[in-house]
Chains A and B, each alone.
Chain A
Amino acid sequence: MSITKTDALFLSVGGFEAGAKVGGGFFRAMFRKVFGAAADNVPPNVVDNIVEVASDEAVAARGANTLGRVGPGAHAGESIAARSTARDFSAAERAEINRIGSNTGCHTCGTTSPGTKSGNFVPDHQPPSALNPPGGPQRLYPQCLTCSREQGLEIARMLNSGGGW
C-alpha cells in the first residue's frame, strides 16, 4: 500500500497538521495506525514532505487550525514541557499553565476563562497522549474545559474509527 498526498491531506484535515509542529514521528504514528506496516516503508524525508504539503494545504483550505481539536490550536502561545503522559501535575506546573492561559487563553478557542469550578485551566498534552508515539516529546498548553471535552470526543472518534474499541 502506498500513501498518497490525498491520504496525507485527509489525515491533515482531520486536525493532524498540528503534528508538523512536533515532527514527523507524530505523523508516522498516525500513518502506522491507518496504513499498518506500510507506513514503516516511507523514508523520513517523504514523511517530512507530506507533513509540509499537507499542513500547508490543510491550513490554507480552512484558514487556521480551528476546526480540528487535536494538536496545538490556533491560539497556542507559550507552553511548558510535559514530564510524562501522566496527569500528576505539580502546583508550579498548574500555576504556569494558568498564567499562560490568563495571558493567551485556551490554545484551542482563545478564551481566557477556563470554564472550571476551580478556575484552573486544563493542562493539555500535545500531541495528545493517546495519539503520541511511545516516548515522544509532549508539551503542555492551557485548554478550557469545553475544548477539552470536545477534543475528547474527537480522540474517541479517531480511536473508534481505527478499530481501537
Chain B
Amino acid sequence: MTSQYGPMGAGLAAIGAGIGIGQIGGKAVEAIARQPEAISKIQTNMIIAAALVEGVALFAVVVALL
C-alpha cells in the first residue's frame, strides 16, 4: 500500500503544520491579550487560518500515506 518512506513524509508534514498552527495560536493569544474586546473576531480568523494550514498538512499526509 505504501512505500517505507511514506510515514516519514507524513511526519515532516506534521512538523510543518505544527509550526504553522503554533504561530497562528500564539499570535492570536497575543492579539487577544492586547485587545480582549475583539476576541470573537480574532478567534474566527484564527480558526479559518488554522484550518487552511491544516488542510495543506492533511493533503501532504494523505499523499504520503495512501
Pairing of A with B: no
